């Protein structure tokens, strides 16, 4: 997805939100915004938003000196999600279509996104997403391709959401490589967050190498790129991965809640819609 | 009011909103945002937001070449308000406290503010504001000072809102100097807008000389400053004038709807609250 003009004010909101989690020093916070101001002119609209996101969160780390501002929040999200895990599992097991219910649960977990906001009620979101109509619903194609593939490349998004992903991974019954970010960025899951969620019990965890808040291929490592290029079934969770990968020429299924109106508009849906969208299917 | 860190992302949203009214050329719009990016580092937080607003709307005029992007919108707002005028007058005349009802109507008109948003239903707002409790209600002091003054200095805000101000001016039954901006900025009323609303029939219209979206004293002309310094009763409408004048050492009554959470927080009220707040009273 390209950068929309509307993304620019949002870059400043995001930087301030992340900065405030790292420090209360107004001078440092102003310096973050000043420096982002200076780079706006160098951001072509052709770039994807995560390319700029990467620079923004680098600035936050550099100026505040805090490498992982969301660490505590990520831990809490994972603990909260782990406490819900038995309920999520029983919801799947008591449903008519277990795979679809697990997909819905994985999408519900995508609300745990501190890049967009920091107010949500996870139980309420689960309840809503379990019965909500999909705005885009490529479920038949998803099942067809899933049946044919030998391995799933599952590109994760946020810490805590990882536990919801685990529920879907367990339901797909195929070998899974679960991809995390290399460097902490917002509350996106890194290796330790995935371990904390128990992803290592159900999948092979792999760092993509990126520090962008989305799986930005030009920043990914060779190991990831080798696997990605050969992959026949990719799942990409959340907005950041959609932004980074929506123009790819490979089969990808995006699972997300459209939390931002700009992204919703790019996909052609409304804000708050839930999406199971395949490209190149 | 000082500039809050949260104002910075809003400067970009405002610039984009105004820019899009002036042009559809994405390159020009990007250039506006690029140039605002470059000035962020030169904005101390001690400045009031309208000081930066002034620079932003200058950039929009300069880069798009459109001097008054909101001209058509301002005309429409005034026409819509003029059509409501008989209803506003009868509402005042049928009320128990005509002055208070006229104050409420003047405040309801403050919703016509394209600096904050461009979606509102004016009839609905009038209906709500007529019965809503004030979050700050210095009405007794307002009446006392009004009784004692020989002349009112009424600092207007938006075009269209001017018609609502006319209703209050008529009810106060004192000579009024009605202050407008010199240069078009957002949908703030300039001389022509006040004339179109019929303000010249009930008050003397005076340009403050400013091009800021708030009555920023350091940019006002000598004529305004002379009158302002001697004034014993000042009414200042809307958020921009609050931002510009909230730290003044002179008696001022602010009449506004708190439409932005940052300003609401500065005043100590909630968003959407209505305010009749006197300072130095």
ipTM of the complex: 0.91
Edge-to-edge strands, sheet with A152-155: A134-137, A274-279, A252-257, A234-237, A152-155, A176-180, A204-207
pLDDT digits (tens, 9 = 90+) for A123-135: 999 999 999 999 9
- The runs of H, that is alpha helices, within B231-270 are 238-245, 261-267
Residue A38 has its nearest CB partner, among B5, B13, B41, at B41
Task: Work out the average pLDDT over B24-31.
Answer: 98
The predicted structure's pLDDT at residue A117: 67
Residue A16 has its nearest CB partner, among B9, B12, B37, at B9
Q: Are B139 and B166 in contact (CB under 8 A)?
A: no
Contact partners, residue B95, CB within 8 Å, separation at least 6: B101
B12 and A12: CB-CB below 8 Å? yes
The predicted structure's pLDDT at residue B152: 98
For chain B, domains (ranges, CATH) are 5-64 (1.10.8), 71-279 (3.40.50.10880)
**Which chain A residue is nearest to residue B9, measuring alpha carbons?**
A9
Query: Does residue B30 sit at the A interface (CB-CB below 8 Å)?
Result: yes
Question: With a threshold of 0.90, does the pTM exceed it?
Answer: yes
Closest CA to A10 of B84, B265, B13: B13
pLDDT digits (tens, 9 = 90+) for A171-207: 999 999 999 999 999 999 999 999 999 999 999 999 9
Cβ-Cβ contacts under 8 Å, B33 against chain A: 5, 8, 40
The predicted structure's pLDDT at residue A120: 83
Task: Work out the average pLDDT over A152-162.
Answer: 98
> Min CA distance, B30 vs chain A (Å)?
7
Residue A34 has its nearest CB partner, among B10, B29, B41, at B41
**Which chain B residue is nearest to residue A13, measuring alpha carbons?**
B9
Query: Does residue B27 sit at the A interface (CB-CB below 8 Å)?
Result: no
Please state the φ and ψ torsions of residue B133, each to the nearest 5 degrees.
Answer: -75, 140
Q: Report residue B160 as tokens.
A: 């269209």
């Amino acid at each position: 997805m390209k950068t929309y003009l509307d993304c620019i004010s949002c870059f400043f909101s995001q930087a301030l939100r992340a900065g405030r989690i790292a420090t209360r020093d107004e001078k440092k916070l102003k310096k973050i915004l000043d420096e982002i101001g200076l780079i706006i002119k160098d951001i072509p609209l052709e770039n994807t938003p995560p390319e700029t996101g990467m620079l923004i969160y680098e600035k936050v780390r550099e100026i505040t000196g805090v490498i992982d501002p969301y660490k505590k929040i990520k831990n809490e999200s994972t603990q909260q999600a782990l406490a819900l895990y038995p309920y999520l599992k029983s919801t799947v097991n008591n449903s008519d279509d277990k795979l679809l219910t697990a997909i819905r649960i994985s999408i519900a977990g995508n609300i745990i996104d501190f890049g967009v906001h920091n107010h949500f009620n996870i139980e309420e979101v689960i309840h809503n997403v379990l019965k909500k109509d999909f705005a885009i619903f490529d479920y038949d194609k998803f099942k067809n391709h899933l049946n044919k593939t030998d391995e799933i490349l599952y590109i994760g998004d946020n810490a805590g959401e990882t536990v919801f992903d685990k529920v879907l991974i367990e339901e797909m019954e195929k070998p899974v490589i679960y991809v995390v970010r290399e460097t902490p960025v917002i509350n996106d899951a890194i290796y330790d967050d995935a371990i904390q969620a128990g992803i290592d019990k159900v999948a092979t965890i792999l760092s993509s190498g990126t520090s962008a808040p989305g799986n930005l291929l030009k920043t990914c490592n060779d190991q990831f790129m080798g696997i990605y290029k050969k992959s026949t079934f990719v799942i990409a969770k959340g907005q950041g991965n959609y932004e980074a990968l929506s123009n790819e020429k490979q089969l990808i299924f995006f699972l997300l809640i459209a939390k931002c109106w700009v992204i919703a508009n790019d996909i052609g849906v409304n804000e708050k819609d839930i999406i199971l969208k395949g490209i190149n299917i």
